[in-house]
Amino acid sequence: MVSMTNTALDQTEQADIRVSVSGPVLTIVLTRPDKRNALTQAMYAAMTAGLEQAAADPGIRSVLIHGEGSVFCSGNDIADFSKANSDSSAATENEATRFINTIATFEKPLVAAVQGLSTGIGLTMLLHCDVVVVTADAKIGAPFVPLGLCPEAGSSAILPARIGYQKAYAVFALGQRLSGDEAVACGLALEVQPDLQACVTAAAGYADALALLPAESLRATKALMRPKGSLDAQITAESQVFAKLLSGPEAAEAFSAFREKRKPDFSKIS
């Protein structure tokens, strides 16, 4: 791939995702604010393509991820997610899984700017970012158990290591959310900014600064801080359990309740 380091801006938009390159930084923007940036399979595919472009181009030296509107990412689009995972095998083969595997093994610096709600994959993708900047009104969580599911993307290992077992368990099982200040205090984010504009500006500054540093040294440092083998095994184990739970009665009840706008009833499911 031809390096775009010396171009002013290269920009494409597809499937509610905008990917642009300005100098040595590739930016991925979630552009579905009317749906709270809930991710579809097409959006996952576009984000994966952006990361693959950044990985293949030596002129791209860092990646910035952020979203439009008041919400960074509200997780998966339930209707699209249900359709993509209509059989048990699909859960290990779909675009969401490709994105998780790509971001988990991405070698260059990843920076995220997070505003408002960030839940499910909106949290777990952040665990693979190297610098996270949040707004003061951030609400970050991943209520997998209330959905009849389990953690994904290596988060069952990364989040407890990052914020402690008790807090991570409360996020996964009880649906607790971290505020912007809490995210910084427990090590999930680097700094908090008052609003989205300031958050994106600060995150872009980190992406620019990282792009100027020695690339091989950055790759080596990230590889040493994020040992690959154990995380691969954890992601594989999560994927297998996730697929089993997804086809089970608890997830079916949780998703039905969501669609019907009612409280789920797990009392008769053992």
- Measure the CA–CA gap between 40 and 49, rounded to whole angstroms: 14
Bridge partners (DSSP) listed for residue 21: 10, 26
**Would you list the DSSP string of the chain?**
----TTSS-EEEEETTEEEEEETTEEEEEE--GGGTTPBPHHHHHHHHHHHHHHHH-TT--EEEEEESSS-SB--B-HHHHHHHTSSTTGGGTSHHHHHHHHHHT--S-EEEEE-SEEETHHHHTGGG-SEEEEETT-EEE--TGGGT----TTHHHHHHHHH-HHHHHHHHHH---EEHHHHHHTTS-SEEESSHHHHHHHHHHHHHHHHTS-HHHHHHHHHHHS-HHHHHHHHHHHHHHHHHHHTSHHHHHHHHHHHHTS----TT--
| Average model confidence (pLDDT) across the chain | 92
Q: What is the pLDDT of residues 157-179, one digit of tens each?
A: 999 999 999 999 999 999 999 99
Per-domain boundaries in the chain: 10-194+212-260
Architecture per CATH, domain 10-194+212-260, reads as Alpha-Beta Complex (3.90)
For the segment 188-204, the average pLDDT, to the nearest whole number, is: 98
The predicted-structure confidence for 220-259, as pLDDT tens digits, reads as follows 999 999 988 889 999 999 999 999 999 999 999 999 998 8
Interhelix angle for 155-163 vs 165-174, to 10°? 130
Tokens of 181: 């200040």
- The pTM of this model reads 0.91
| 74-117 confidence digits (pLDDT tens) | 999 988 877 766 654 444 468 999 999 999 999 999 999 999 99
